[in-house]
């Protein structure tokens, strides 16, 4: 079993570290955030992911995983160091590689063994070549450090399951030694390994994410047209889904993609294309459709109502998708400021996302309106004039349509996730607006 260090304990790094430990490797997770490290040492996960805390506790008490801010000790004699630090979007669309560079330099200054640096973070094509050279430039000891690409494909909300049961593992290497090292680390996972060169591995990650983003934007574009011509996007998607060339997944229309990956990875690939004097028209279109889609529900509601001023507005769901507490690029972040600027009194409910949201919008007066965080769906809906659904959490999907009628002052619902059938809403007496389908009461 290998001695593995993971740099960065976010969604990617922590989940990877815990899963390596679960398969018997000796893992040290490094983070610069001391509060996070203390939380993890006490068995608490700093992020919400189903099943993660249980595996953290199990492997910590078995002595297979530890957490530290002391990178020097953690890097110096590791067999492999996995990088799971962030690569956020910069204003020009390019990826910010500062965190990668910091860790690369720390590795160069401390490592004492022949070691493999494995970049799990999503980085532009060619970055791994630069990381290898950068480490070489700053290397203090007379050792060999090689760099491999191993992009991550987990989805937040099912990160542990996705890692333990991935459909494929991509490894991008430039030497037999690196390839064999990664093969042996991943052997216990028993998952197909696709072995390519580093640049292809880097491109596989962007090409995969951007293809999914494109699929979502395509369905949203078609949904908007469906509304104009009297077709129903859900029927259309079902009809399409039987074609194996299309596939049944990612055909749901809605208020656009969010999260820490699709928005920044579409921008980053577009930027890479521009840098190479190429116009990536398909990805550009996905970006522009998504931008408009995020506020489409707000525009529909604005057309239906004269004003939001003085109205109680219920919001169900704040996170960018169910199963995560992550708010990055969530549609709620586009819509809440618009509603507040128009004087709405918002009552927001989310099963796990309100604490993070309250860091951005503390409860109380805000803009021309106010925001209150509530602990139940009922509290949000009670006496509301209008309700928006931004995230399709299971408990929101399970709401009995009659509840909207019973609790709201006016049962007016704008559903950004097409959760309900139009007929059930009609029967319940709820005025229902969704995406790509007929509106009505």
Q: How many CB atoms lie within 10 A of CB 260?
A: 22
Which of the stretches 83-91, 285-293, 307-315, 372-380 binds ligand NAD when contact is defined by CB under 6 A?
83-91
Element (H, E) at 22: helix 11-22
CB of 324 to ligand NAD, least distance (A): 8
Which of the stretches 2-10, 74-82, 177-185, 428-436 binds ligand NAD when contact is defined by CB under 6 A?
2-10
User: Rule CB under 6 A: is residue 181 a binding residue for ligand NAD?
Assistant: no
For ligand NAD, the closer CB: 50 or 180: 50
- Kindly determine how many residues on this chain lie close enough to bind ligand NAD according to the rule CB under 6 A: 26
**3-state SS class at 107:** helix
CA distances from residue 63 to 21, 45, 60, 67, 136 in whole angstroms, order as listed: 9, 17, 5, 11, 33
CA distance 106 to 401: 56
**Which of these, 75, 58, 76, 74, lies nearest to 19 by C-alpha position?**
58
User: Rule CB under 6 A: is residue 366 a binding residue for ligand NAD?
Assistant: no
CA distance 328 to 433: 25
CB of 65 to ligand NAD, least distance (A): 15
Which of the stretches 24-32, 345-353, 375-383, 393-401 binds ligand NAD when contact is defined by CB under 6 A?
24-32
User: Rule CB under 6 A: is residue 32 a binding residue for ligand NAD?
Assistant: yes
User: Rule CB under 6 A: is residue 31 a binding residue for ligand NAD?
Assistant: yes
**Which of these, 260, 247, 227, 250, lies nearest to 96 by C-alpha position?**
260
User: Rule CB under 6 A: is residue 295 a binding residue for ligand NAD?
Assistant: no
Strands (E), 124-168: 145-149
Binding site annotation covers 440? no
Q: Which residues pair with 38 in a beta bridge?
A: none
Residue nearest to ligand NAD (CB): 10
CA distance 348 to 369: 13
CA distance 115 to 135: 12
CB half-sphere exposure, 275, CA atoms < 13 A: 13
For ligand NAD, the closer CB: 12 or 387: 12
User: Rule CB under 6 A: is residue 436 a binding residue for ligand NAD?
Assistant: no
User: Rule CB under 6 A: is residue 253 a binding residue for ligand NAD?
Assistant: no
Over the range 410-421, which residues count as b (16 or more CB within 10 Å of their CB) and which as e?
Answer: bbbbbbbbbbbe
CA distances from residue 42 to 39, 58, 159, 232, 272 in whole angstroms, order as listed: 5, 12, 21, 50, 42
CA distances from residue 138 to 109, 131, 281, 358 in whole angstroms, order as listed: 7, 11, 39, 42
Binding site annotation covers 303? no
CA distance 178 to 441: 62
Binding site annotation covers 264? yes
User: Rule CB under 6 A: is residue 66 a binding residue for ligand NAD?
Assistant: no
**Which of these, 248, 295, 162, 266, lies nearest to 207 by C-alpha position?**
266
Contact with ligand NAD (CB under 6 A) among 11, 20, 361, 373? 11
Site string for ligand NAD, 91-120 (x = CB under 6 A): --------x--xx-----------------
CB of 110 to ligand NAD, least distance (A): 12
Are the C-beta atoms of 93 and 268 separated by less than 8 Å?
yes
For ligand NAD, the closer CB: 10 or 258: 10
Binding site annotation covers 310? no
Contact with ligand NAD (CB under 6 A) among 87, 163, 173, 319? 87
Site string for ligand NAD, 150-179 (x = CB under 6 A): --x-x-x-----------------------
Residues labelled catalytic: 261
User: Rule CB under 6 A: is residue 121 a binding residue for ligand NAD?
Assistant: yes
Which of the stretches 1-9, 163-171, 286-294, 423-431 binds ligand NAD when contact is defined by CB under 6 A?
1-9
CA distance 124 to 265: 9
CB of 267 to ligand NAD, least distance (A): 12
Binding site for ligand NAD (CB under 6 A): 7-13, 30-33, 36, 84-87, 99, 102-103, 121-122, 152, 154, 156, 260-261
Q: Which residues are annotated as a binding site for NAD(+)?
A: 31, 36, 87, 122, 264, 328
């Amino acid at each position: 079993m290998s001695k593995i260090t993971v740099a960065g304990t976010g969604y990617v790094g922590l989940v990877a570290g815990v899963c390596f430990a679960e398969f018997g490797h000796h893992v040290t997770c490094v983070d610069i955030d001391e509060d996070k490290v203390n939380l993890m040492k006490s068995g608490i996960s700093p992020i919400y992911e189903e099943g993660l805390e249980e595996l953290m506790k199990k492997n910590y008490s078995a002595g297979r995983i530890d957490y530290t801010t002391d990178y020097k000790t953690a890097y110096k004699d590791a067999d492999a160091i996995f990088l799971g630090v962030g690569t956020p979007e910069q204003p020009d669309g390019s990826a910010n590689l500062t965190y990668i560079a910091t860790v690369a330099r720390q590795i160069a200054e401390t490592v004492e063994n022949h070691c493999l640096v494995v970049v799990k973070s999503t980085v532009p094509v060619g970055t791994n070549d630069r990381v290898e050279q950068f480490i070489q430039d700053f290397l203090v000891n007379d050792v060999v450090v090689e760099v491999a690409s191993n992009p991550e494909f987990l989805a937040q909300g099912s990160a542990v399951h996705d890692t333990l049961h991935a459909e494929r593992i991509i490894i991008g290497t430039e030497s037999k030694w690196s390839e064999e090292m990664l093969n042996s680390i991943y052997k216990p996972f028993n998952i197909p390994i696709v072995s390519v060169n580093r640049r292809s591995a880097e491109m596989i990650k962007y090409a995969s994410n951007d293809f999914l983003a494109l699929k979502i934007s395509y369905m949203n574009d078609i949904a908007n047209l469906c509304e104009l011509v009297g077709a129903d996007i859900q029927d259309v998607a079902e009809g399409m889904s039987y074609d194996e060339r299309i596939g049944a997944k990612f055909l749901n229309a809605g208020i656009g993609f969010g999260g820490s990956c699709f928005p920044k990875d579409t921008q980053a690939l577009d930027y890479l294309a521009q840098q190479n004097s190429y116009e990536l028209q398909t990805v550009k279109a996905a970006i522009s459709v998504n931008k408009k889609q995020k506020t489409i529900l707000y525009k529909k509601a604005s057309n239906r109502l004269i004003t939001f001023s003085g109205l109680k507005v219920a919001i169900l769901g704040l996170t960018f998708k169910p199963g995560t507490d992550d708010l990055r690029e969530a549609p709620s972040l586009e819509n809440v400021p618009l509603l507040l600027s128009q004087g709405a009194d918002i009552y927001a409910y989310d099963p796990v996302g309100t604490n993070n949201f309250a860091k951005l919008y503390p409860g109380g007066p805000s803009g021309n309106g106010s925001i209150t965080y509530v602990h139940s769906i009922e509290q949000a809906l009670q006496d509301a004039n209008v309700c928006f659904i931004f995230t399709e959490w299971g408990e929101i999907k399970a709401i009995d349509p009659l509840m909207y009628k019973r609790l709201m002052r006016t049962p007016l619902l704008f559903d950004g996730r097409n959760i309900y059938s139009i007929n059930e809403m009609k029967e319940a007496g709820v005025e229902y607006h969704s995406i790509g389908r007929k509106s009505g009461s």
